Structure 1
């Protein structure tokens, strides 16, 4: 498995820049392996997203370095994969639970699904089942 690592340093003030970067990393579903070292699976999409973020960090008068890496320890790699999957699976479970309610908002749930799916880097089975349930609910 290949990974992307973003290592960055950004000025403490103004804090808005630090918050912007942190929110963007969370939105991408990146995992922090150290304070300012974040990881994503290496895909064309994640590479492009990290490149854009690195450019934005530079615009904020910070420094950013993007690395491509291989994981050597398979046990650690599986633990890292699980760190990516846990929050996404929780989001899918919340969507499935909301679909069971009578007053569900299918538009909002579809948007929530799309956001979760964008972070589902390992194409989980629950994601496929959640998509099918959403489609089924939309046809009723």
Structure 2
């Protein structure tokens, strides 16, 4: 089995202003990086990640900070598995939160069906919420470099939400046909 290559970013930035430091942390996490400790993180080696980290190097310098970007591999298979497990755990945390939002979506549809609120305005609102779920899932999936355990459950749950909205839409359309 071929070793996985990663990009290692180590950086140090001034503690003030905190907004810039936090924005940098968010950008790095938004790329799907795992932090090994403060100011030390890993990403899978890709052209896109290398390019983005090089651009970030410039931003860090503008903040009065310093960074080093290295290509690295794990010392052995056990170390590699630890790193991959960290990536998977981060994605599973995101999938868990996503699954909670799916449950909220399902509960909202169930509430509207229970009170028979079959309006186009409500359907539009639920459609907007579903689009948010779809976009969020796509973002998580894009950062799921190693196939987190909850990925398939999240995909199935999203499909269930889509089917639920389709069924609700049919009820809305039927209710409006009866009114004509």
| TM norm structure 2 | 0.66
Counterpart check, 1:71 vs 2:74: yes
Larger deviation: 55-64 or 84-93?
84-93
Counterpart check, 1:24 vs 2:48: no
Unaligned runs of 5+ in 1: none
CA contact (8 A) 2:89 2:148 kept: no
Unaligned runs of 5+ in 2: 110-128, 167-180
Counterpart check, 1:39 vs 2:63: no
* C-alpha displacement of 1:78: 0.6
Q: CA RMSD in A?
A: 2.3
Report what 1:116 is aligned to: 140
Within 5 A, what are the aligned runs for 1:1-140? 1-100=4-103, 101-103=106-108, 105-124=129-148, 126-128=150-152, 130-131=154-155, 133-135=157-159, 137-138=161-162, 140=166
The structure with more radius of gyration: 2
Aligned residue-pair number = 140
Q: Distance in 1 between matches of 2:146 and 2:52?
A: 17
* C-alpha displacement of 1:126: 4.0
Q: 1:61 to 1:107 in 2, by over 3 A?
A: same
* C-alpha displacement of 1:135: 4.5
